[in-house]
Structure 1
């Protein structure tokens, strides 16, 4: 317990964003799909949206937090191809379909089955859904992955943020929630709503999901 407490204090002094770590991977998945119009759900201050913009013609970001949405909108004020809307997923344009939809550390804030169903409905024919998510740890497999992550986390913190921080950077201040579903729960829900989805357990307490909608 003392070791965990020490690691927690160290990680707070050298914060780095696990979600941004997967940003390049998400952008590659979207680029490989050939998507032109992309929806980023829970876009935060726009770090992922900036990466997606390098490959897509348009990016729409949804962000429910007013201050964060304002910061993201100001960031892209000179780029008409990026639109930031202050709303949650429920406030999206219900008639619009996108070539790709991305969510990073967002799905566990939403009801799992209905959201997966709605996400499938957001995709244009042949569109791609890319998720980096959080899951509740349960069982020996999660423990085996968590142990190397606990060791690697402070190392990454020193590399990415060597100076001591008084607090987290702005893009790491969004509200957080503990995930309720295990990876098994998520696999089962995806089997029902996203047949053929590819799910992998990842380092730093994350999993990834990629689903391609039928082209017809």
Structure 2
């Protein structure tokens, strides 16, 4: 079933990650963030949404050289966007951001230490927004994935009705299969991000929102 869906997606490509772009931007906007860190920005689709819908400055990290080059070229005339060819470990360790976003990136990184580092990246009252991938396991996950299996080809025909010779540039970033189940991700978040809100989503994704504590006597 998965290989058949993969072949269909190659013929009618659409991004499961971009599907959640508006949701991510809404969560960032509601936090009133002024400075945002986008970890693993790809070609910059989420940056564009943030800049169109929100006045925040964006620092974007992208480890893949081709993706980083495309994103740099795309935002070369926007002084509020800084695209850096580096991974999460290459961030400025002194910086703290009002919001940090990751879309289909967390499963490329060691889960627990990365959650700890992400928490440390946030300014007081800052918000972490994650759209992530998890490893399905057992009958329960299989049954819960059935709506995505049914909806996926419909979305492909709506978003890309003609057959594609190749996927668009923003869908050519390196991929990896997630190792952690959703239960394992929930357990790690409970330890490292107390109060984080995690929801299973359609198209084999989950979302996580965590708000860092506000310093006593200060309001965001």
Q: TM-score, normalised by structure 2?
A: 0.95
Partner of 2:45: 47
Superposition CA RMSD, Å = 1.1
Partner of 1:156: 155
Q: Which moved more, 1:93-102 or 1:46-55?
A: 46-55
Aligned residues between the structures: 214
2:54 is aligned with 1:61: no
- 1:207 is paired with a residue whose SS is strand
Distance 1:140 1:163, change over 3 A: same
2:35 is aligned with 1:9: no
- 2:186 is paired with a residue whose SS is helix
2:33 is aligned with 1:38: no
Q: 2:24 aligns with which of 23, 26, 50?
A: 26
Partner of 1:132: 131
- 2:208 is paired with a residue whose SS is strand
- 2:17 is paired with a residue whose SS is helix
- 2:118 is paired with a residue whose SS is helix
Distance 1:65 1:178, change over 3 A: same
- On the 8 A contact 2:50/2:56 being kept in 1, the answer is no
TM-aligned CA deviation for residue 143 of structure 1: 1.4
Partner of 1:147: 146
- On the 8 A contact 1:38/1:56 being kept in 2, the answer is no
Aligned partners of 1:178, 1:210: CA distance in 2, in Å? 22
TM-aligned CA deviation for residue 146 of structure 1: 1.1
- Structure 2 unaligned regions, length at least 5: 216-220
- Structure 1 unaligned regions, length at least 5: none
Aligned partners of 2:8, 2:199: CA distance in 1, in Å? 29
Partner of 1:167: 166
